[in-house]
Amino acid sequence: MTEEQILAEFRAADALLEGHFILSSGLRSPRYLQCARVLMDAGRARRLAEALAAKLPAELRDSIDVVVSPAMGGVIIGHEMGRALGKPAMFVERPDGIFHLRRGFSIEPGQRVLMVEDVVTTGLSSREAIKAVREAGGEVIAEAALVDRSGGTADLGIPFVPLIRIDVPTYDAKNLPEELAAIPAVKPGSRAAA
């Protein structure tokens, strides 16, 4: 799948939004990729997951035991990646602000885990989810994501394979451009802003 085909999937789902958005990292942005909208169509979710799975090196694909994703944003793409790879998929969630495996999910000691996210901006959610998997005994061998909007700055400490890299500016709330500050802020993500 080419970059233009990937962006066409987002456009077809009205998932490329413009305005003033508060990201889960607490940073502000004039554009937001609403992955929930692009993934709500099962066929589109399948196509994107298959394209992402195909980007993983064969050696990596062959070594994955289980796919784990952070709730909420990573749940659908994580499930679809499990399907594309023929591996079980589970998720971590944070009922108390810290990621945990729940709902009967467990990882066997030493199981090789592919972490899957929808969007990576700062990598904070990814690092927190990776920590939870490691504490549960898993070995996180790589991360895959639909979108890397970090500008190459997200350091996850493991190999990172995004389907697409999108350079969208982000700003600290105290240092907004005038045109962005003039627009009311909206928080579309799944985590309380930092």
Q: Strands of the chain (E only): list them.
A: 16-22, 28-33, 66-70, 89-93, 100-101, 112-120, 139-148, 160-165
Every domain of the chain and the residues it spans: 3-181
The annotated binding site is made up of 94, 117-125, 149
The mean per-residue pLDDT over the stretch 131-142 comes to: 96
The annotated binding site for orotate is made up of 121, 149
| Residue-level pLDDT at 192 | 47
In degrees and rounded to multiples of 5, residue 86 shows phi and psi of 70, 35
The mean per-residue pLDDT over the stretch 72-79 comes to: 94
Give pLDDT tens digits for 158-194. Answer: 999 999 998 888 899 999 999 999 999 998 865 444 4
Helix (H), strand (E) at residue 37: helix 35-39
Please tell me whether residue 147 adopts helix, strand or coil conformation: strand
The mean per-residue pLDDT over the stretch 151-164 comes to: 91
Class of domain 3-181: alpha beta
The mean per-residue pLDDT over the stretch 129-146 comes to: 96
Query: What is the distance between the alpha carbons of residues 48 and 146, in angstroms, rounded to a whole number?
Result: 8
Query: What is the distance between the alpha carbons of residues 136 and 128, in angstroms, rounded to a whole number?
Result: 13
Give pLDDT tens digits for 82-131. Answer: 999 999 999 999 988 899 888 889 999 999 999 999 999 888 899 999 99
In degrees and rounded to multiples of 5, residue 43 shows phi and psi of -65, -40
Would strands 112-120 and 89-93 be described as parallel, antiparallel, or unpaired?
Answer: unpaired
| Residue-level pLDDT at 90 | 96
| Residue-level pLDDT at 27 | 87
| Residue-level pLDDT at 190 | 54
The percentage of residues in the chain with a pLDDT greater than 90, rounded to a whole number, is 70
| Residue-level pLDDT at 150 | 87
CA nearest to 81, candidates 100, 72, 94, 68: 68
The mean per-residue pLDDT over the stretch 49-73 comes to: 96
The mean per-residue pLDDT over the stretch 62-79 comes to: 95
How long, in residues, is the chain?
A: 194
| Residue-level pLDDT at 194 | 41
The annotated binding site for 5-phospho-alpha-D-ribose 1-diphosphate is made up of 94, 117-125
